Structure 1
């Protein structure tokens, strides 16, 4: 019989985070959620309130608690990583950080990009950058994640995994509004702003990334791992899938050189190689198989 684990989830109490928590609870794990108190923990889940950037407050909230696994959904900067590394040293047997495909933002390759393209052990960490400035952080999202990975990797305070997540689609609670953006425009025939040339990307369904994080929490591998469904989608693929469920809708592309374009209208390829995770034992779905379902879920959101 599987032994119940003590699991801490930092932040991420919505979208795929809430699905992850539900999987942990269903598996019999004793789950604690830590956040700043902006949202309650689900029923049956312990709740700790602290600002993760306040080391003293974080230590006080944790008390003497120890965990088999920490799942960090909201680590965005090297400073946050350094605080977590100090606080959780000796408190956890495994640390899983949710990272992003954006760590590969400088890797424009026609091939699917493997984890080795960005080795966190080789990433320089600059603690003096204005990581507390929301505007800076927003425009340096990939760099913040790269440097956070580097901090954890440089000091093996605990076995560490960084899950580099592809663009997530699906669910009736997608707060990003990215797929909804296309539904709104195709339904009305409004123009969709795109660069002169767009490139394909890898994606993952909201339920699949919850499955993946749950699986990763129970394995013993370390280091970065890509999480993406098999196959690439172009912007045309996405729009065609949306239009097929909106009779009478019309897709109108408006080419522009402006930096402001529609979501997923990529100027470079965002294709991740998922073969490491596959070799480790996770079976990904095919993106084209679940795309119609993801679109239907999104359309159901607005009736």
Structure 2
């Protein structure tokens, strides 16, 4: 595809969002970032300020602009998706929703889960739930994303791809603190709470998901697609990778029957099948190849 596309990125201009924007700019695309003004986009991108939940404000900010592709990084609920569908139908050639592995929260399978396990065309949408309440929305993150996918699926005026992102690791700017949770405890030899039965999950490096989203912008496929590196990790393997780079560090896993456990430790499998993306032409790395780099970045030893 020729460069020089008009691309709108809604939301995050930090972590993998800023990496995506820089890749698009480097490819020669004309990038516009829309957010509430809390952070400026990388140099070279245009900036629009609006609350994406306010439909009138969103329309005013966009004016008569149209785009080849919209990448929505911050659509968490079916209400937000409904606003997007009304505003962007007929205004963009393709809509890319950043979704999540959490849509599979009820799919406990030892085998990697394909996209067909959660078909957005069969998901029930309930716009009357209190989606505007942060506590409700946060507690139903996977459900909100499932319903958002459902709202955005099947509209011929808004072709949509939903990128179901695996758990993201790496980068000195990882604001989630999830991998740092383990580096801190391994350094201190502190107990690490995990489920008694600890299951593996799929992951993706921050640079790889930025690569994947940038590649997706240039493609034409629609529907859900899993984005995950090859291979899985359980908590013990993750901790072993940390301990390998922490001299004198000690791993003490403590099984918890009931109560809070460490981030990225799961009582059910969280593996995604990435074969659809592979068939479409994207080449994923292996989690074991980049995991040492991700640990080094979290420890402040990255290049």
TM-score between the two structures when normalised by the length of structure 2: 0.98
The corresponding residue for 2:211 is 211
For the residues of structure 1 that align with 2:244 and 2:94, how far apart are their CA atoms? 44
CA contact (8 A) 1:33 1:46 kept: yes
Judged with a 3 Å threshold, the aligned counterparts in structure 2 of structure 1 residues 87 and 276 are, in CA distance, closer, same or farther, namely same
For 1:1-303, list aligned pairs within 5 A.
Answer: 2-300=2-300
For the residues of structure 2 that align with 1:112 and 1:226, how far apart are their CA atoms? 10
C-alpha deviation, 1:257, in angstroms: 2.0
For the residues of structure 1 that align with 2:152 and 2:261, how far apart are their CA atoms? 34
For the residues of structure 2 that align with 1:230 and 1:82, how far apart are their CA atoms? 34
4+ aligned runs moved over 2 Å, structure 1: 154-157
C-alpha deviation, 1:157, in angstroms: 2.4
CA contact (8 A) 2:153 2:159 kept: no
C-alpha deviation, 1:111, in angstroms: 0.8
For the residues of structure 2 that align with 1:257 and 1:138, how far apart are their CA atoms? 23
Secondary structure at the aligned position of 2:225 is classed as strand
CA contact (8 A) 1:75 1:145 kept: yes
Secondary structure at the aligned position of 1:129 is classed as coil
Secondary structure at the aligned position of 1:132 is classed as coil
Residue by residue, what CA displacement relative to the aligned partner does 1:25-65 show, whole Å, maximum 9, x if unpaired? 00010000000011112211100000001000000000000
Judged with a 3 Å threshold, the aligned counterparts in structure 2 of structure 1 residues 59 and 301 are, in CA distance, closer, same or farther, namely farther
TM-score between the two structures when normalised by the length of structure 1: 0.98
Residue by residue, what CA displacement relative to the aligned partner does 1:190-227 show, whole Å, maximum 9, x if unpaired? 11111111000000000000000000111011100000
Which of 180-189 and 255-264 deviates more?
Answer: 255-264
For the residues of structure 2 that align with 1:146 and 1:239, how far apart are their CA atoms? 31
CA-atom RMSD, angstroms? 1.1
For the residues of structure 1 that align with 2:276 and 2:92, how far apart are their CA atoms? 24
CA contact (8 A) 1:10 1:34 kept: yes
Residue by residue, what CA displacement relative to the aligned partner does 1:118-165 show, whole Å, maximum 9, x if unpaired? 000000000011101100111100000000000001433221100000
CA contact (8 A) 1:173 1:301 kept: no
Equivalenced residue count is: 302
Unaligned runs of 5+ in 1: none
Unaligned runs of 5+ in 2: none
CA contact (8 A) 2:18 2:41 kept: no
Secondary structure at the aligned position of 2:34 is classed as strand
